[in-house]
Amino acid sequence: MLQPTPPVPQPLENMGQAIPRYEATAKVTGQPLYAADEPIARPLYAFFKTSGVARGTIASLDVRKAEAMPGVMKVYTHRNAPPRKAVKHIMTGGYMSDTNIPLADNRVRHDGDIVAMVVADSYEIARDAANRIEVRYAAQAPAATFGSPGAVKKVPEQAQKNAKKAGDFAAGWSRAPVKVDARYSTPTQHHNPIELYATTAVWNGDQLTFYEPSQFVYSTANGLAEQIGVDPAKVHLVNPYVGGGFGGKGILTQRTALVALAARDLGRPVKLVLHRKQAYGLTTYRAETRQRVRLGADRNGKLVAFAHDGEEVTSRADDYMVGGVENTVEMYACPNIATSVTLVKADRNTPGFMRSPPETPYMFGLESAMDELAVALNMDPVELRRINDTQKSPISGAPYTSRSLMQCYDQAAAAFGWSRRNPRPLSMSQGDWLIGWGCATATYPTNMMASTARIRLTADGKAVVEVAAHDMGQGAYTAMQQIAAKRLGLDPRQVTVRMGDSALPPGPVAGGSMTTASAGSAVHTAAGKIAARFGGAMPAPNDLDDAFRRLGVTQIEEYAEWWPPGQGPQAVRALYKGSMGGGGGEEGEQQEGNAGGGKPMMAAFGAEFVEVRIHRLTREIRVPRMTGAFAAGHIVNPRTARSQYLGGMIWGMASALLEATEVDAKRARYVNDNIAEYLVAVNADVPQVDVILVPEVDTKVNPLGVKGIGELANVGTAAAIANAVYHATGKRIRDLPITMDKLLV
């Protein structure tokens, strides 16, 4: 039996030191201030009353009982809510996660829409009063999801513009001797970070300071300023620690302006902590998808045709698009490729980014279909990937800067013991347990955006690094510390890092797995400018004092701006405005770093192997072990990188077996809107996870040679599990999550 990887791996080739997290001691002693932890003098507390229907109008709203409660300062409804400016959605050049403005009129547009906000002098009274508000609705039948009456299909312009194709799919498909044509579905999922969504607003004259969990402080602060009509220079967001984000805290929601304006109106700080239930309707989520995958191959397993068609749910208000078919078609060599995406607009809040937004659902489809193709060909699924592996884009022909997919497969397969697998379904069992082994590919594009950074080095050999990037657990503080220390020739312990504050020089969104590549490159550049002051090579720490004397200064401060190849200073100007889409190379900003057009392909890869055990009678599903091997260029810190992969694979396991937000088909309401009935993985679900860091050198992606890893490992896990379930039972489950009932049918 395999031994688990020790928690702290030894650095291999092209890997940095596995030092403990920068903020480790603070985090084990309860010191970090997350958004709702900030001590505020005499705050008022806000609590929302949210809608009990998904579509309709408010017929009557009686707030008298709430207003009569001692301690209630004000009840805001659509009749008296302060106006807010309509700001565009983040994907159309604005800032918002959802452009539906609550309390702007008497309409209810989705389950959990805000119908009133109570502000009181204690949390207990605010919540009590909110529950005493009496609302009657003139409800209309809502469209919940795919196939609901009233749901409207739409092919967004963006999907048509970005559609990728190669050769002639129809011709290739008609000629293919071996075919898989299958339909898959993935469910609605909510991020459910353990830190709740909170906002505290404090006005000092016309200056606003606010505290809320944010994966992009510049965007959140600028967006709020625009919404409430305040000079962005007077809006300050403080958030040094994010208690888990996973995409849910990336984009400004509508709650923030309500809290900020109430604080101004009432002349006191106002604090809001959304109840977990309320987060389901008032933040974003992973949209459910339906997919059709067609794979055609010759008798040797070479792909000759691949079509990936997706349907995704979104809100009436916004055309949020998941867009994963753009990535799946880059996976394997294939001459004939076609894609399409269709949105289905329903009476829902707007979905958004959730850890590997496009890859998680769409790689489940592709990698399940690859397994089905391997079965149809009677071929080992690892060999099928090897035959179709490519070092260039099948769409544009551009080469990958590096791609170590098969090295990952070979190392993971060896560690897992794949060669002992009997490929026949139902062939491996132990007592009452059917055993299945499956594998799948993980991938994530190397995204980057502009970043700035400032470093101050003092003669005593201490450095302070400042960048408004974000650490939500990825290890970003530690990565910035190590990158600066390495370039400055310092012991990392001499480096202080400040992040998560809109008063610092701007950094990238903590999304798209691009913090280390982007903010790290800016930190590296700023450190290089300091080194240049000493003639390019940093003096040894012991010689620093003398070197400073020779320069005639006591400290050096350098500010640097960095942008990815193909972009320019306008990308930094956009960054200062908190714009995610304004990078602007000659072809405009590209969120996904591997967009075509002959530009080099940049992506990290991995291979994941899982064992499932399924009880012969009850169909209980357990995952006793998982092995993943990943290659992502330079690894700044193997300790934190391993933890990212470990957590990612467990996320993937949960997405395959546990996680689904159930949407009431008739009422369009979230049924299991809490963290007991929305199942996330618990400790008992996770026996053994084996992580292998595959060394990879990439000199082209960026100055540091790093690729993004935070959203790599949860991609592919779901397919690996579904493939293992097929191997164990002979039953192919194409609709996630895979639950006992689906195996009992």
Which residues in 506-545 contact another protein (CB under 8 A)?
A: none
Q: Are 474 and 510 in contact (CB under 8 A)?
A: yes
Selection from 521, 531, 534 nearest residue 560 by Cα: 521
Which residues inside 263-282 make contact with another protein, applying CB under 8 A? 273, 275-276
**Interface with another protein (CB under 8 A), residue from 32, 566, 581, 624:** 32
Question: Mutual orientation of helices 359-377 and 381-388 as an angle, nearest 10°?
Answer: 110
> H helices then E strands: how many in the chain?
19, 24
Please state the φ and ψ torsions of residue 490, each to the nearest 5 degrees. Answer: -105, 160
Q: Is 711 annotated as catalytic?
A: yes
Judged by DSSP in three states, 210 sits in strand
Residue 71 as a binder of another protein (CB under 8 A): the answer is yes
**Interface with another protein (CB under 8 A), residue from 25, 60, 160, 422:** 25
**Interface with another protein (CB under 8 A), residue from 50, 99, 162, 192:** 192
Cβ distance to another protein smaller for residue 25 or 80: 25
Cβ distance to another protein smaller for residue 24 or 86: 24
Please state the φ and ψ torsions of residue 337, each to the nearest 5 degrees. Answer: -135, 140
d(CA 458, CA 51): 56
**Interface with another protein (CB under 8 A), residue from 473, 505, 582, 716:** 473
Residues in a beta bridge with 117? 48, 76
**Interface with another protein (CB under 8 A), residue from 209, 451, 481, 643:** 643
**Interface with another protein (CB under 8 A), residue from 194, 233, 537, 745:** 194
Residue 269: CB atoms within 10 Å: 22
Cβ distance to another protein smaller for residue 28 or 233: 28
Q: Is 454 left (phi over 0), alpha (psi -120 to 50) or beta?
A: beta
Judged by DSSP in three states, 281 sits in helix
Selection from 629, 632, 465 nearest residue 22 by Cα: 465
Cis geometry, peptide bond prior to residue 20 (ω within 30 degrees of 0): no
Q: What does DSSP say about strands 178-186 and 107-108: parallel, antiparallel, or unpaired?
A: unpaired
Q: Report the nearest approach of another protein to the CB of residue 473 (Å).
A: 3
Judged by DSSP in three states, 384 sits in helix
d(CA 328, CA 710): 19
Which residues inside 612-641 make contact with another protein, applying CB under 8 A? 639-640
Residue 233 as a binder of another protein (CB under 8 A): the answer is no
Judged by CB under 8 A, the stretch of 287-295, 425-433, 501-509, 644-652 that binds another protein is: 644-652
Q: Are 233 and 576 in contact (CB under 8 A)?
A: no
Residue 146 as a binder of another protein (CB under 8 A): the answer is no
Rg (CA), the chain: 26
Total number of residues shown for the chain: 745
Q: Report the nearest approach of another protein to the CB of residue 353 (Å).
A: 16
Cβ distance to another protein smaller for residue 94 or 352: 352
Residue 608 as a binder of another protein (CB under 8 A): the answer is no
Judged by CB under 8 A, the stretch of 76-84, 97-105, 671-679, 733-741 that binds another protein is: 671-679
Q: Report the nearest approach of another protein to the CB of residue 726 (Å).
A: 25
**Interface with another protein (CB under 8 A), residue from 450, 680, 694, 718:** 680
Q: Tell me how far apart the 2 most distant CA atoms of the chain are, in Å.
A: 80
Cβ distance to another protein smaller for residue 123 or 433: 123
Cβ distance to another protein smaller for residue 323 or 475: 475
Which residues inside 86-145 make contact with another protein, applying CB under 8 A? 122-125, 128, 132
Judged by CB under 8 A, the stretch of 64-72, 225-233, 431-439, 692-700 that binds another protein is: 64-72
List the 463-466 sheet strands across, edge first. 495-498, 463-466, 451-458, 555-562
Judged by CB under 8 A, the stretch of 106-114, 166-174, 426-434, 684-692 that binds another protein is: 684-692
Cβ distance to another protein smaller for residue 195 or 561: 195
Contacts of 203 (CB under 8 A, 6+ apart): 209, 263, 264, 267, 269
Which residues inside 384-413 make contact with another protein, applying CB under 8 A? none
Q: Report the nearest approach of another protein to the CB of residue 217 (Å).
A: 16
**Interface with another protein (CB under 8 A), residue from 246, 280, 362, 548:** 246
- Site size for another protein (CB under 8 A): 74
d(CA 709, CA 606): 10
What's the half-sphere exposure (Cβ side, CA atoms, 13 Å) at 83? 3
**Interface with another protein (CB under 8 A), residue from 156, 172, 193, 361:** 193
Judged by CB under 8 A, the stretch of 27-35, 226-234, 322-330, 458-466 that binds another protein is: 27-35
d(CA 648, CA 153): 33
Q: Are 719 and 367 in contact (CB under 8 A)?
A: yes
Residue 681 as a binder of another protein (CB under 8 A): the answer is yes
DSSP conformation class of 450:
-
**Interface with another protein (CB under 8 A), residue from 15, 58, 144, 196:** 196
**Interface with another protein (CB under 8 A), residue from 103, 479, 656, 689:** 689
Cβ distance to another protein smaller for residue 39 or 229: 39
CA dihedral 327, 333, 338, 340 (to 10 degrees): -10
Judged by CB under 8 A, the stretch of 31-39, 333-341, 581-589, 604-612 that binds another protein is: 31-39
Residue 25: CB atoms within 10 Å: 10
d(CA 709, CA 443): 9
Q: Is 459 exposed, middle or buried (0-12, 13-18, 19+ CB in 10 A)?
A: middle
String marking each residue 172-191 x if it binds another protein according to CB under 8 A: -------------------x
Which residues inside 408-467 make contact with another protein, applying CB under 8 A? none
Can you say whether the dihedral through the CA atoms of 308, 735, 113, 580 is positive or negative? Answer: negative
The amino acid occupying position 186 is T
Residue 33 as a binder of another protein (CB under 8 A): the answer is yes
Residue 241 as a binder of another protein (CB under 8 A): the answer is yes
CA dihedral 711, 91, 524, 558 (to 10 degrees): -150
Judged by CB under 8 A, the stretch of 65-73, 318-326, 493-501, 627-635 that binds another protein is: 65-73
Residue 67 as a binder of another protein (CB under 8 A): the answer is no
Q: Which member of 312, 367, 466, 711 is catalytic?
A: 711
Q: Report the nearest approach of another protein to the CB of residue 32 (Å).
A: 6
Q: Report the nearest approach of another protein to the CB of residue 63 (Å).
A: 15
Residue 8 as a binder of another protein (CB under 8 A): the answer is yes
**Interface with another protein (CB under 8 A), residue from 1, 10, 28, 535:** 28
**Interface with another protein (CB under 8 A), residue from 244, 335, 624, 695:** 244
User: What residues act catalytically?
Assistant: 711
